[in-house]
Amino acid sequence: MNKNFKIVIEYDGSSFFGWQRQKNKKTIQEEIELVLSKILNQKIQIAASGRTDAGVHAFGQVANFHADSDMNPLKLKKAVNSLIKLPIVIKDCTIVDDTFHARYNAVSKEYHYFILNQEDPCAIKRQYLWHIRHPLDIQIMNHCCGLIQGIFDFKSFENTGSPKSSSIREVFSANIHPLDKNREINRLVFKICANGFLRYMVRNLIGTIVLAGANKIKPHDFLKILEKKERAKAGPTAPPHGLFLKKVNYS
């Protein structure tokens, strides 16, 4: 019997060339498909909620695939996790309606970007943080976060190669704060939730917000960058290793 399986995936993207299958390159999609095809004894193709780029991680990527199988979803999850030797884990596996599609049914996504804001780098978990030595003004950065909440054309924060025909997106929430107000005051997290994202949009946004936090631009300059709709006006692209796809929301 053909069934539609929905899986939630956590992965460390450090050693991968992104999510999407590419010729002669190690990708998360290919590794999962190879294992699923072996377990289910049929060719499996999975559809994700969206791509993550090389070096980007995920706590809650969502994908679905159709398979002619009576295998219990829990047993399938355990089988995949036992065979994958790379930093990929299936956190959940369920059978969903045949019409469900991980990408087209998603209503919003939330990304988290982590920053270490102190003079010295860290030895542990350094591959999951953007180390910034100069002090950042969190209040100014949150002011900029407030300016992007709503429906806007984010062309200024879109890298070339985005497959989207429109650069208009709705940001539901955006903020930056210490991970732990009592202890980890130098470890910051930028959280953003929107109905969709352009290529490198989160990394370009935080790269520009950091300029404001470093007092290199003012919040009104940030607003002008948003309004200009020109990528050259915005700040640098933040490195990929600080970015995590936190979760994908469905109605």
Instruction: Find out whether 250 and 104 touch, Cβ atoms under 8 Å.
Output: no
Q: 160 pLDDT exceeds 90?
A: no
- The percentage of the chain sitting over the pLDDT mark of 90, rounded to a whole number, equals 90
Average pLDDT over residues 4-26: 95
Question: Distance between CA 192 and CA 86 in Å, rounded?
Answer: 28
Does the annotation count 53 as an active-site position?
yes
Over residues 202-238, the pLDDT tens digits come to 999 999 999 999 999 999 999 999 999 999 999 999 9
Q: 33 pLDDT exceeds 90?
A: yes
Task: Give the residue extent of every domain in the chain.
Answer: 2-96, 108-250
* pLDDT score at 179: 86
Considering the domain delimited by 2-96, tell me its CATH architecture: 2-Layer Sandwich (3.30)
Catalytic annotation, pick one of 53, 92, 153, 221 = 53
Instruction: Find out whether 130 and 116 touch, Cβ atoms under 8 Å.
Output: yes
Which are the contacts of 93, defined by CB distance < 8 A and separation ≥ 6? 5, 6, 7, 8, 73, 74, 76, 77, 80
Question: Distance between CA 8 and CA 73 in Å, rounded?
Answer: 12
Q: 94 pLDDT exceeds 80?
A: yes
Average pLDDT over residues 90-102: 97
pTM given for the model:
0.94
Domain 2-96 and domain 108-250 have a common topology: yes
- The percentage of the chain sitting over the pLDDT mark of 70, rounded to a whole number, equals 96
Give the DSSP letter string of the chain. Answer: -EEEEEEEEEE-GGGSS-SS-BTTB--HHHHHHHHHHHHHTS----EESS---TT-EEEEEEEEEEEE----HHHHHHHHHHH--SSEEEEEEEEE-TT--TTTTEEEEEEEEEEEESSS--SSSGGGSEEE-S---HHHHHHHHHHTSEEEE-GGG--TT---S--EEEEEEEEEEES-SSS-TTEEEEEEEES---TTHHHHHHHHHHHHHTTSS-HHHHHHHHHHT-GGGS-PPPPGGGEEEEEEEE-
Beta bridge partners of 194: 109, 171
Q: Determine the CATH number of domain 108-250.
A: 3.30.70.660
Q: What is the dihedral sign for C-alpha 46, 52, 53, 57?
A: negative
Over residues 97-147, the pLDDT tens digits come to 999 999 999 999 999 999 999 999 999 989 999 999 999 999 999 999 999
Average pLDDT over residues 25-30: 96
**Please, what's the largest Cα pairwise distance for the chain?**
60
